Structure 1
Amino acid sequence: MSNKIRFTSQEHIITRQNRAEKKFLAAFAAEKPTFEAPMVIHNPYLINPLGALVMFITPEKVAPTLTVHGKRYAREDLTHTFAAATEHFLPVLGLYEDFDNKVTVSLPDGRSTTLTITTGKLPGGVEGVYRCRNIQASLDYLGDDLMFLSPAGKNLPSAYDYKGDIRWLLTENTMFDLKRMKNGNIVTGSSRFCHMPYNSTGMFEINLLGKIHKEFRMPGNYHHDHFEMEDGNLLALTQDFARDTVEDMCVLLDRNTGEVLKTWDYRKVLPTNVGGSGSQDAHDWFHNNAVWYDKKTHTLTLSGRHQDAVINIDYETGNLNWVIGDPEGWPQELVDKYFFKPVGDLSKFDWQYEQHACVVCPNGDVMCFDNGQYRSKVKEKYIENKDNFSRGVRYRIDTDKMEIEQVWQYGKERGQDFFSAYICNVEYYAEGHYLIHSGGIGRVDGYASKALGAFLDMNDPSMELRSVTVEEKDGVVLYQLETEGNFYRAEKLPLYHGGDNLVFGDGKLLGNLEVTEEFDTVPEAEEVLELPPSFHNILVEEDEDRFVFHGKFEKGTLAMLCLENEREGHHYFINTAAVVHLAMCSGAFLEKDDRDVKIHISKRGLQGEFALKLIVNDKKYQTGVTIYCP
């Protein structure tokens, strides 16, 4: 192995998309394509290979209709009518992979033009798409909707039609939930790594054609979930890396600027050392994986996996209102004031454990996905995964009497076959009509695995990952999708939204990353004019606002990154100690070899050119890499 340092410097995907958009708009202006001979751009924004853009000009304002023809018969056609205009920019969504897709554009006067758009095979393997294994659905039920699944590993966000064909995909490994906003765009976690185990720079606002309108960068990074407020501002889950706990804060972001408008800190609400789940540790004591705003009560409802608790706090003050969860292990004064007493048919009542994705129903009921991991707060009573169950559950709460009744569940009857120790979600569509997504199924020799799916070795034929998404209405299963792999959450969405007039203009980077913490004590090390030994397998990936350093180190190695020029030096500690992750809601950034480490260094607070050097034990090595900080 050569001891050559690998270095890449790449513009942000938004910058590359801005350039691509300017290029095709300039071509459109120069060529003035007609309806009879429109301009077609396949994958115009570089990250959606199942999308295209059809552009043409008409002498008068007309409302064109676009049809993506189904593979088998006309009832499968995806048809959408756009707003009237003279300049037409029609996003083509829902193309089949590896296929000569027929697309027809028709005008109100009866004229039509049919195009052929050829797509290639989608990427496979661990870092590609996961295929449908089995689907129970009808075109009458699903219609033009697709089931969108967001990844829980290195796989890609994908959407499946009623036959299980993938009809939408991003080649960026965006993270965590994917939610449609009122303007038709989706917001999801960015694909850019910041901190282990799965913290990304922030969130992308993106249309389904693939154009990223905004990245909302956050100093505490983004994880797990977000929520659009009535005014368009965004609640987002985050943390403060300057302290010793994580995943225990929520912020409100200005939709236009990315500015943090308000912060909720759960350490001011709950004790950090009581009521712990089987996965709790002092560092990740709450593990917030969902946020929901309820306008009726002006409150936030939050899911804390590592306290087996769904909590509700006042939006304005942050004060605690109530807790849903098993009270065992909590101080009695908190139990008496904030916890509910079960009522109704107690033979059918179960508390939720290590839950995800809390939802407040229109009548105030609370739903969540009850993963059921351990299904006890007492170690001696823990239940093995092969004997356990996961489910969607709905609780009715009376906040005056502090009583709780279980009014619905789905999944307990399926036992270990539906068991997911992590991730997953539920959705409320209408009374009696729900989605239940068990996306973290892992099996070893046919039994529910003891380890989370993200940690299973898919090269071992005894191991398998699955994701099962169910829709139930009035107790009847109307839809079920089983795929390979694990998926974080499921959302049923139509491809088109409203008039779907594309919004052009440069995408923007909003907000800020953190100033990366520096290390004050710099070890004495002999500076040598050579590269680090090849064992370290160094890779440096630079983009516009940060860089990521990858390297391999034996556990306990003293290692430090140094940025130096003639005026100043900056030093960043590389943690090579063994790290045990008790939670892994996305394995996108996991390495196969636990000696492989990576750290992100933000350029915020830095200015100028810096030579990058690496201290390993008692030597300071050159890398030959220069980092430019504008």
Structure 2
Amino acid sequence: MKHIWQKIIIGLLFFFLVIGGIAYHERHNIRRFFLVNQVHRSAHILTTAQIKLNLKPALSTKNTTTTNQLSATYRRKLANLSVGITHAKVIVNPYKTSPLTGLILVKTSQATQVTMRVLGDSPQTTITKKIPGYTKQHQVGILGLYANRTNHVQLTFTTKSGTKITKTYFLRTGKASARIGTNTVKTSHPTQMALGTGNTKLTFAVSSQGITYGLDAQGKVRWYSTNYISHVFKQLANGHLLILTKINPNDHHYNALQETDYYGRVYRQYNFNGLFPSKTNHKKLVTNTVIHHDAIELPDHNLLLTVSDGGADYVEDTMIELDRQTGKIKKVIDLKRILPKSAYTKYHGTTRSDGKLDWFHQNSMYYDKRTGTLIVSGRNQDMIFAINCKTTKLKWILAANQKLPTRYQKYLLKPTTKHYKFNAGQHAVMLLQPDKAKKNQLQLQYYDNNVVVTRGNQSVSKKYSAGTIVSINQLKKTVTKTWSYGKSRGTYDFTNIVGSSYAVGKGNTLINFGYADSGKRSEFVEVNRKTKYVVFDVNRTNFPSWDWTYRAQRMSLFPKHTHFSLKNINQ
């Protein structure tokens, strides 16, 4: 009887906490109680309400307020300017976190359209952008400056009648962060690279834990953020960036998910507490990084995030859907409810210093909006699988047939390629040209680290890593290898952890061998898939430990339908 009453009391307290019907300090104390005394749905699996309570994100307006204050200052400066292109106000790093950006404020007597040109060291590294519309008051955002030099930026003002006048402005920048390390160009053929209109696309080296930066076709740094970024650096549908950074610069953990842009303006920020019980002592709460490897935007613009569930036993095996507007958790997908129990209760592939089990280690995901399919990659199970995102029901599994219970084998894709080598320790799953594909025929690209953790071919494990493309027939449940590059580079570019492989245009794929030489080197290689001719190859060295490149991404500084504005950020 006593035990039953304890359960009832705990249930009532939990109910009041979740609905927020008691005072803040009481909620805070009770939250700590439920962090120590986790409520389970069944053995090893937390309830959905418990996971929401553990993570409990909160919207922060601190950085959006700072953004609006700076924008208001620049609006006043523009209003007070005299008319004439010689009276322009030039500002470097206007939002304080992107040192290779600028802002030029200028008034003209007639309404004009502006074309901005950041002069590069070659025609292929000169960045050009035409700003839409005609106006007399110009707020021209500048992207793509070089570090540690006086940059020449040309603005061409064109009237509606076609009259043009060009003025060169000078923007002086300081030295780039030493944490970027040394980027040595081994190969560069810019005319064969996918650089976008006006050479506005850079190769972005996304940090594991540190400085993320963008290189031009000559391997020169043309953008970086002073915010420390971990894993997540994505372009959203509205042209903004989604990054995972620190709430405070001196924090050890990355618990701020921020919607920002290349200038450093902050549109939204979601802070996570990350205070979870330790494995050895459940009464001891220790701060952890909540979001770890990936975040994607869903068709309704909500965010799907890879997270740890906040329990004392397991990490990196859960996803949450975050409401973009409110910051509330709308849905929880716990992989322990989808995959075999033996996968996490009998896992021995890796160990952690905190004693928790990283049995799955989800490192990427991709949402196919045509079918509502979510494709998930788990390094430590050497597995890629697909589920119906709404129902979470399994559709197929791409993995070697080892250590899988009989009832899961019906989901396994059967190879049609002779001597097919299954993915092992893979990263960065994404569909190739999904809009042109048939619903049941997928072209799946991923980075095959080729390190067997749980299942796979041990005889070739760790011999090389490769960018890979396979064709999947979802109806027949078959898989065919269609392209791979990396085997010829052998152990030189073998990557035990991290890495990426993405199609970037012109029939090219950009591959990041991010953990070469046991993490002392990252190498970015753009290769033509048809000819296997390397058109770009950069070695990155001399960077701090833990700051190896997680992904290499080719992204535009000026996404479609975006332009700089000094309007207030909508909070």
Range class of TM-score, shorter chain: 0.7 to 0.9
1:314 equivalenced with 2:413 (yes/no):
no
Q: Give the aligned partner of residue 313 of structure 2.
A: 244
Shift >6 Å, 4+ stretches: 193-196
**2:89 aligns to what?**
39
Q: How does 1:504-515 map to 2 (within 5 A)?
A: 504=566
TM-score, normalisation: structure 1 = 0.69
2:560 to 478, 482, 498: 498
Greater per-residue helix proportion: 2
Q: 1:355 pairs with 401, 410, 426, which one?
A: 426
User: Does 2:229 align with 1:229?
Assistant: no
Question: Measured at CA, do residues 280 and 373 of structure 1 come closer, stay the same or move farther in structure 2, by a change above 3 Å?
Answer: farther
Cα distance change on mapping 1:384 and 1:234 into 2, 3 Å? closer
The 5 A counterparts of 1:448-597 are 449=518, 453=519, 464-476=520-532, 477-484=534-541, 485=543, 486-498=548-560, 500-504=562-566
- Do residues 161 (structure 1) and 216 (structure 2) align? yes
Q: Which residue of 1 aligns with 2:128?
A: 79
Counterpart pick for 2:368 among 282, 294, 309: 294
Number of aligned positions between the proteins: 468
**Aligned AA (1:292):** Y
- 2:287 is matched with none
Q: Larger % of strand: which?
A: 1
**Amino acid across the alignment from 2:325:** N
Q: Give the C-alpha shift of residue 98 in structure 1.
A: 1.1
Unpaired segments of 5 or more residues in structure 1?
1-10, 444-448, 454-463, 510-630
Change (3 A) 1:416 1:508: farther
Tell me by how many angstroms 1:423 deviates: 0.9
1:437 equivalenced with 2:488 (yes/no): no
**Cα displacement (A) at 1:351:** 0.8
Give the C-alpha shift of residue 378 in structure 1.
8.1
Could you tell me which residue of structure 2 aligns to residue 134 of structure 1?
185
Contact 2:83 2:108 in 1 (8 A): no
- Structure 2 counterpart of 1:137, which letter? S
**1:384 CA drift (Å):** 7.2
Measured in 1, the distance between the counterparts of 2:446 and 2:477 equals 19
Q: 1:149 to 1:304 in 2, by over 3 A?
A: same
d(CA) in 2 for partners of 1:135 and 1:50?
24
Residue pairs, 1:109-508, within 5 angstroms = 109-124=163-178, 128-142=179-193, 143=195, 144=199, 145-154=201-210, 156-192=211-247, 200-218=254-272, 221-274=290-343, 278-279=349-350, 283-335=357-409, 337-346=410-419, 349-361=420-432, 362=434, 363=437, 364-374=442-452, 377=455, 381=458, 385=462, 388-429=463-504, 433-441=508-516, 443=517, 449=518, 453=519, 464-476=520-532, 477-484=534-541, 485=543, 486-498=548-560, 500-504=562-566
Aligned-pair CA distance for 1:405:
1.8
47-56 or 429-438, which moves further after superposition? 429-438
Query: Structure 1 stretch 404-413 or stretch 367-376: which is displaced more?
Result: 367-376
TM-score (norm 2): 0.76
Identity of aligned residues (%): 25
Rate the CA distance shift 1:306–1:33 in 2: closer, same or farther, 3 A.
farther
Question: Equivalent residue of 1:26, what SS?
Answer: helix
Query: Unaligned stretches of 5+ in structure 2?
Result: 1-60, 275-289
Partners in 1 of 2:333 and 2:233 — Cα distance? Answer: 23
Stretch deviating more after TM superposition (130-139 or 211-220): 211-220
Alpha-carbon deviations, 1:19-71, whole Å to 9, x = none? 33332323323335643311111100101111110112234432111111123
Match of 2:15 in 1: none
- Paired residues of 1:33 and 1:55 also in contact (CA < 8 A): no
Contact 1:293-1:301 within 8 A present in 2 as well? yes
Q: Secondary structure at the match of 2:85?
A: coil
Identify if the C-alpha distance between structure 1 residues 21 and 294 changes in structure 2 by more than 3 Å, giving closer, same or farther.
same
Q: Which amino acid aligns with 1:172?
A: N
Distance 1:222 1:50 in 2: 28
Structure 2 counterpart of 1:36, which letter?
Answer: T
SS in 2 for 1:107: strand
Among 46, 49, 54, the alignment partner of 2:99 is 49
- Tell me, in whole angstroms, the C-alpha distance in 2 between the residues paired with 1:358 and 1:78: 30
Q: Distance in 2 between the 1:61 and 1:231 partners?
A: 38
Give the Cα–Cα distance (whole angstroms) in 1 for the partners of residues 499 and 412 of structure 2: 25
Contact 1:426/1:434 (<8 A) preserved: yes
- RMSD over aligned Cα, in angstroms? 2.8
